[in-house]
Chain A
Amino acid sequence: MPHFAKPPAGSWTEQYPELGTAPVDYTDSIDPAFYEDERAAIFKRTWLNVGRVERIPRTGNYFTKELAAAGTSLIIVRGADKKVRAFHNVCRHRGNKLVWNDYPNEEVSGTCRQFTCKYHAWRYSLEGELTFVQQEGEFFDLDKKDFGLKEVACDVWEGFVFVNLDPQETLTEYLGEMATGLEGYPFHEMTEVYTYKAEIGSNWKLFIDAFAEFYHAPVLHQKQATKDEADKLLGYGFEALHYELYSPHSMISSWGGMAPPKDPSMVKPIERALRSGLFGPWDRPAIDGLDPAELPAGINPAKHRAWGTDSFEIFPNFTLLFWAPGWYLTYHYWPTAVDRHIFEANLYFVPPKNARERMAQELAAVTFKEYALQDANTLEATQTMIATRTVTEFPLCDQELLLRHLHKVVADKVEEYRDAAAR
């Protein structure tokens, strides 16, 4: 029996006839040729979020970002004019990687006044100009103005830094209406950060699939709740409050779970003691902009009183997830091969004022990892079995709308790219 209303079309999925309701072909997650075209069609020409401005608050702060799917490494840096820029991480002299420490493939961050190549000491300003050439007189008609760093389009939305190797539109146009609905959320106040990273043995889309539906939650994670609560959740199953497609982006809105619980005996002792859990600290931080009535219009679009969390899928690989108790997290899925990707998660909280608030955040962070490990491991099992091609088409339910949409958008973009290449 349904607990929440569905749209007049009869189902969430049938509101979008272009998606169909047929089983979905997952060859897109195992075929190396498809992966190569996906890199060109999507990762080399789409706005990609590479982090937050708080990582580079001052002139000379920088970090590097490895973009295996786009086939490059970037330097993101704040210039003397305070502007955030992105450059290909390559020296114009002989192509050495410009910014790295001991291991060329590891991402680094720091502060500097200029970038100096380890190889022959060519130097570049924070704005990318070539400023010094070792033994410049040995070169032939070298004009330093012609050998600045190769710049990449870079723009900032609500403190999130995006880059694009070949923009087809502005960042604002790309993010569109869905992002407008999130503007004004107090992202800048949430500077207490936990950063996680793992390499996952699955296609990048499979992890998005795992986090873009909660149909699995009462099953895969059932042992994380008390027995009575787990039985109840399994009996209910999962239904979202709302779904919305803003193609290529999408969102899912969900009810609130246990933050705080109606009945304290339904949560574990540590959660009772610290007033926190998977949904975060139960007590909302005392800053402006977090009261349900003050939240940006795009959050909790159904305006449901039982609202607990919204997950926004910003195409292709960036998830922005808001929790009702007043914190948010991000996921990034960086493809490295057809069957591998780097997963990054960041948890953002308002800085705690005391030990009690800090320990509540600690429990939320520890709980996040317990869940994520179960999700991550399941993916490797999925990847190995879809790769057998024993089964190629999979039925997706109405609560898996965002998955159906993701695979359709990716397929359409790859097809469009292939058609253009064939002309």
Chain B
Amino acid sequence: MPLPAEFADLESFQDWALPTEPERYAKRLASSMDEMQALYDAAMPRLEAALDHCDKHDFTDLPEDVRTLMHLLQSVVMVSFPVECWSQPRVPDSGAAYLDLLVEPGF
């Protein structure tokens, strides 16, 4: 599903609009820092406008394109740690530890 027309500038990052945390986390681990930095640099300046746009709609009944935008924003949160803290996709000092998200809220 494409992003809302107002956010066509983020269209090249649409493969980050993933509906579940396990998918977003896996993509983070499989991505280079350059790829995550590109998403972060493109999306962070648009974050405020994106939230405003989403909040024009009833949160219990979001149109498909707005939901896609929300999933893209979730990925921005997901890559914020590698970009802002770690300089690598993995959490440092986390070794073989994992933590599966089994239940997450939808919208």
Interface membership of A306, Cβ < 8 A: no
Q: Which of A146-154, A176-184, A251-259, A357-365 contacts B (4 or more CB under 8 A)?
A: A357-365
Q: How many residues of A contact B (CB 8 A)?
A: 41
Chain B 43-79 against A: per-residue CB contact (8 Å), 1 yes, 0 no? 0100110010011000100000000001001101110
* Complex: A87 Cα to B91 Cα, angstroms: 41
Is there contact, CB below 8 Å, between B51 and A355?
A: yes
Find residues 176-212 in chain A having any chain B CB closer than 8 Å to their own CB: 192-198, 200
Contact B80 A373 (CB under 8 A): no
Choice from A197, A268, A374 contacting B100 with Cβ under 8 Å: A197
Q: In the assembled complex, how far is the CB of residue A209 from the closest CB belonging to chain B, in whole angstroms?
A: 16
State which residues 71-107 of B face A: CB under 8 Å.
Answer: 73-74, 76-78, 80-81, 84-86, 91-105, 107
Q: Is the CB of B103 within 8 A of A195?
A: yes
Asked if residues B101 and A195 are in contact (CB atoms below 8 Å), the reply is yes
Partner of B97, one of A223, A274, A373: A373
Bound CA–CA A200/B94 (angstroms)? 12
Q: Is the CB of B97 within 8 A of A377?
A: yes
Closest to A361 in B: B105
Asked whether B103 lies within 8 Å of A193 as measured between CB atoms, the reply is: yes
A193 and B97 in contact, given A355-B51, A370-B91 (Cβ under 8 angstroms):
no
**How many Å from the CB of A148 to the closest CB on chain B?**
32
**A378 CA to B97 CA, complexed, in Å:** 9
CB pair A196–B99 under 8 Å, yes or no, is yes
Measured CB to CB, the nearest residue on chain B to A366 is B77
Q: Tell me which residues across on chain A come within 8 A of B51, comparing CB atoms.
A: 355-356, 359
Q: How far is the CA of A176 from the CA of B75 in the complex (A)?
A: 44
Residue-wise, chain B 30-45 has the 8 Å CB interface mask toward A (1 for contact) of: 0000000000000010
A380 within 8 A of B: yes
**Which B residues touch A83, using CB under 8 A?**
none
Q: Which of A229-286 contact B (CB under 8 A)?
A: 268-270, 273-274
A366 CA to B28 CA, complexed, in Å: 12
Question: Is B59 a contact of A268 with CB atoms below 8 Å?
Answer: no
Q: Which of A196, A269, A366 contacts B44 (CB 8 A)?
A: A269
Find chain A residues with CB under 8 A from B101 CB: 194-196, 365, 369
User: Which residues of chain B are near A195, meaning CB under 8 Å?
Assistant: 101-104
* Interchain CB contact under 8 A, A270 and B93: no
Are B54 and A194 neighbours in the complex by a CB distance under 8 Å? no
A376 at the A/B interface (Cβ < 8 Å)? Answer: yes
For the complex, give the distance between the alpha carbons of A372 and B91 in Å: 10
Q: Which residues of A contact B47 (CB under 8 A)?
A: 273-274
Contact A373 B91 (CB under 8 A): yes
Q: Which of A273, A351, A378, A380 is close to B96, meaning CB atoms less than 8 Å apart?
A: A380
Sample (13) of A-B pairs whose CB atoms are under 8 Å apart: A193-B105, A194-B104, A195-B104, A196-B101, A270-B44, A351-B105, A353-B59, A356-B51, A358-B59, A358-B70, A369-B99, A369-B101, A374-B91
A residues with a Cβ closer than 8 A to B are 192-198, 200, 220, 223-224, 268-270, 273-274, 343, 345, 351-356, 358-359, 361-363, 365-367, 369-370, 372-374, 376-378, 380
Q: A194-B105, A273-B48, A378-B93 are in contact. List 11 more A-B contacts (CB 8 A).
A: A195-B103, A197-B100, A269-B84, A270-B80, A354-B55, A359-B51, A362-B74, A374-B91, A377-B94, A377-B96, A380-B96
Q: 10 shortest A-B CB distances, which residue pairs?
A: A355-B54, A195-B103, A377-B97, A270-B80, A373-B94, A376-B97, A377-B95, A373-B91, A198-B99, A268-B84
